[in-house]
Structure 1
Amino acid sequence: MSGLIGREKEKQLLKLYIESNRSEFIAIYGRRRIGKTFLVTETLGDRLDFDMTGVINGDSAMQLTSFALSLTQSGYTGKRPANWIEAFSALREVITARGNQQQVLVFIDEMPCLDTPKSGFVPALDLFWNGWASRQKNIKLIVCGSATTWMVDNIIDSHGGLHNRITHEIHLHPFTLHETEEYLKANDFHWNRLTICQTYMILGGVPYYLSLLDNKLGLPANVDRLFFSDDAELAGEYERLFSSLFRNPQPYKDIIRLLTDNKSGLTRKEISSKLGKESGGNLSKMLTNLENCDFLRKYNVREKKINSNNGIYQLTDFYVRFYNDFCRLHSTDSHYWSNSLNTPKQNNWYGLAYERLCMAHVQQIKQALGIAGIRTEYYSWRSKQSKPAAQVDLIIERADDIVNLCEIKYSRGKYTIDANEEEKLRNRITDFEQETGLKKAIQLTMITTYGLNENAHSYEVAASLDMNALF
């Protein structure tokens, strides 16, 4: 597989930060497998003066040994450090030896691993940065970590000595569909856009997962190989993923499982009730942690006004959703996905996944609608009066007094609205107007895979987009 694809914004930011005329403390965080290390090493390469990686599940002695080896590789010849105070003192010697006329780049990867119990790592880092490095002009300290909770609590939002010491943070998100298409093309995948959409619905925009695909196989065979075969490469990824991110992963997996079973999402109060937990600080903290890992997204809801306090949490990580929907029960069919092609279960799943795909690409939808420059709020809406309760997953409310009420439909050809659906759509618009009291123009917006068949029942549609808008 080829080198760094996409990440243009992040590459430009990283280059900008390291060329400044002051010392910088740059924190890069995001879920496991998202490409944090690759971003740094491919962008900065041999410019790194000190480069070390924490040892996953290593004890304090192993972490110090790893640090000491990196010191030696950077030219350090002094005494081997016995603790973190001495380790950072040795790093100071390495930096000082470079002189103060050039930028000195220090990269510490998987930093959360270094903070073993009673090791004193964080106070030593605090002393190194606040006591010396921050007062220099040429030091660029770049730190990464997959344990996003640790990175946020101890570095980015620290309430201790590192409070407000981060000069820049980069939250590395999954690839967009456009970046995913670029990645696949660069690696000789000649797949059409529907197949690329389906790939994203299963793997998400996670570079490592995409790197496991075999361009000699079609998507169904790849899915069978990665998830359902006897030696499936992603079979154990789910447990590793949560264990690497959270020191106590089970409560987080409980929330994920709950949101898997409630596909339209739940409010914090509903999550609390179903889990039997207090809707207090601990649950709020866990939900925030899952958001920071790009597992969840909180959507505002529209009642008489936009309500962010009673927002809906939905599971947004595509790999995590696919695993819980199909792999958790460990199917014994090694060709399960290929054997499920065009079955109602698989097609229905793709339909729901396409809704999530669109929700992950709202900015691209705005661009396609020609409203990228207009201030907007986007949210979900649930009827509290209609039976069964109507729900619209995506509503874009615009500053020009227009509301795009988006209906998202997945099909393998052009989508056709019949008389029954036309009536449902009209009733949904009426319910929305009556329950919210909005006095804005409502534009029914269809987002389909291949576009809309125009007929006598499609006249209510003000705008129609197909999957190309998402790229």
Structure 2
Amino acid sequence: MFIDRERELGFLEELYREERAHLVVIYGRRRVGKTWLVRRFLEGKRGVYFHALRQPLEVELERLAEALSKALSKYVKADWDSVAEALAEAGKFVLAVDEFTYWVEEEPGVLASLQQLWDVVSARSPLFLILLSSTASLVEKSLSYGGGLFGRRTAQLRLGPFPPYVVKDLLPYCAEDLAVAYAVTNGIPHYLSLFDPKAPLKRNLERLFSKWGPFMKRRRTYSVLKYGSPTSI
């Protein structure tokens, strides 16, 4: 089910239809649906979704080169120049790098490599480069003056939690129970997806906040309305 990201998806599709290169930055807190949005956007398109890891950059380059080799059906050497050349020759192609700021944390100088890659490829091919991150401060630093990607982005999206009205499309509850479900999840898509829509609110809360549930560490933080009176979870 794809809910409440139609505008963002439509925006990406509109950019993609343009015959030019784009560098799109998508950021927002964890579990807010960045990966979900990009994977949906990639459906039916030539491209690669690549999730960066916190490990030496030479290892990451090997992983990236291998992924591109498979997608492009040609050998891509594990260095930035070869990656750039392969992308420049690829034509219309989407490269989505999730949590690219892991690379920045591992080696800040990677921003210069990404800048050079973008400058080389964008001048020759309509690459659609998407950089995703859960660390807003590093994204803003990377895009600011002197940050390596300054002046390169062509668009950006900052994803936030679902608005309250979206919960009614996910859970078949009364207004009061929907308010409780939204309050304990803060409208975060991943947390809302953990609810079983076939089970009553009470049963869902008992499971999610149980000793073995995913919300166990938040037991002391939240209170919900139960039968009209405050009750600690």
Bin of the TM-score, shorter chain as denominator length: 0.7 to 0.9
Instruction: Summarize deviations over 1:280-337 as a string: whole Å, max 9, x none.
Output: xxxxxxxxxxxxxxxxxxxxxxxxxxxxxxxxxxxxxxxxxxx3xx435xxxxxxx97
Equivalent residue for 1:25, pick from 16, 19, 23 = 23
Aligned to 2:206: 224
Query: Does the 8 Å CA contact 1:59/1:116 hold for their aligned counterparts?
Result: no
Instruction: Summarize deviations over 1:217-274 as a string: whole Å, max 9, x none.
Output: 22222222212x12111335xxxxxxxxxxxxxxxxxxxxxxxxxxxxxxxxxxxxxx
Equivalent residue for 1:10, pick from 8, 25, 43 = 8
Structure 2: any 5+ residue segments left out of the alignment? Answer: none
Query: Does the 8 Å CA contact 1:48/1:107 hold for their aligned counterparts?
Result: no
Q: Matched residue of 1:5: which SS?
A: coil
Supply the distance in 1 between the matched residues of 2:59 and 2:202 (Cα, whole angstroms).
42
Aligned to 1:209: 191
Query: Does the 8 Å CA contact 2:223/2:230 hold for their aligned counterparts?
Result: no
Q: Matched residue of 1:217: which SS?
A: coil
Supply the distance in 2 between the matched residues of 1:208 and 1:232 (Cα, whole angstroms).
14
Quickly say closer, same or farther: Cα 1:148–1:6, change in 2 above 3 A. same
**Number of equivalent positions:** 232
Quickly say closer, same or farther: Cα 1:161–1:148, change in 2 above 3 A. closer
Equivalent residue for 1:66, pick from 63, 67, 73 = 63
Quote the RMSD (CA, aligned, Å): 2.7
Aligned to 1:96: 88
Query: Does the 8 Å CA contact 1:22/1:139 hold for their aligned counterparts?
Result: yes
Query: Does the 8 Å CA contact 2:111/2:147 hold for their aligned counterparts?
Result: no
Structure 1: any 5+ residue segments left out of the alignment? Answer: 237-322, 329-335, 348-471
Taking the TM superposition and a 5 Å limit, the aligned residue runs for 1:3-402 are 3-55=1-53, 57-74=54-71, 75-79=73-77, 81=78, 86=79, 88-99=80-91, 103-118=92-107, 120-130=109-119, 132-136=120-124, 138-155=126-143, 157-182=144-169, 184=170, 189-227=171-209, 229-235=210-216, 323=218, 326-327=219-220, 341-342=226-227, 345-346=230-231
- Structure label with greater radius of gyration: 1
Q: Matched residue of 2:7: which SS?
A: helix
Equivalent residue letter for 1:71: L
Shift of 1:344: 5.0
Shift of 1:122: 1.0
Q: Matched residue of 1:216: which SS?
A: coil
Quickly say closer, same or farther: Cα 1:116–1:68, change in 2 above 3 A. farther
Query: Does the 8 Å CA contact 1:53/1:66 hold for their aligned counterparts?
Result: no
Quickly say closer, same or farther: Cα 1:198–1:150, change in 2 above 3 A. same
Equivalent residue letter for 2:34: K
Q: Matched residue of 2:129: which SS?
A: strand
Supply the distance in 2 between the matched residues of 1:143 and 1:151 (Cα, whole angstroms).
9
Shift of 1:42: 0.9
Equivalent residue letter for 1:14: L
- TM-score, structure 1 as length reference: 0.45
Supply the distance in 2 between the matched residues of 1:168 and 1:141 (Cα, whole angstroms).
11
Supply the distance in 1 between the matched residues of 2:60 and 2:81 (Cα, whole angstroms).
16
- TM-score, structure 2 as length reference: 0.87
Q: Matched residue of 1:140: which SS?
A: strand
Quickly say closer, same or farther: Cα 1:45–1:222, change in 2 above 3 A. same
Quickly say closer, same or farther: Cα 1:25–1:78, change in 2 above 3 A. closer
Shift of 1:116: 4.1
RCO greater where, 1 or 2, for CA within 8 Å and sep 6 or more? 2
Quickly say closer, same or farther: Cα 1:4–1:33, change in 2 above 3 A. same
Quickly say closer, same or farther: Cα 1:73–1:234, change in 2 above 3 A. farther
Q: Percent of aligned positions with the same letter in both sequences?
A: 25
Query: Does the 8 Å CA contact 2:121/2:127 hold for their aligned counterparts?
Result: yes
Quickly say closer, same or farther: Cα 1:91–1:235, change in 2 above 3 A. farther
Q: Matched residue of 2:149: which SS?
A: coil
Q: Matched residue of 2:226: which SS?
A: coil
Q: Which runs of 4+ in 1 moved over 6 A?
A: none
Quickly say closer, same or farther: Cα 1:94–1:51, change in 2 above 3 A. farther
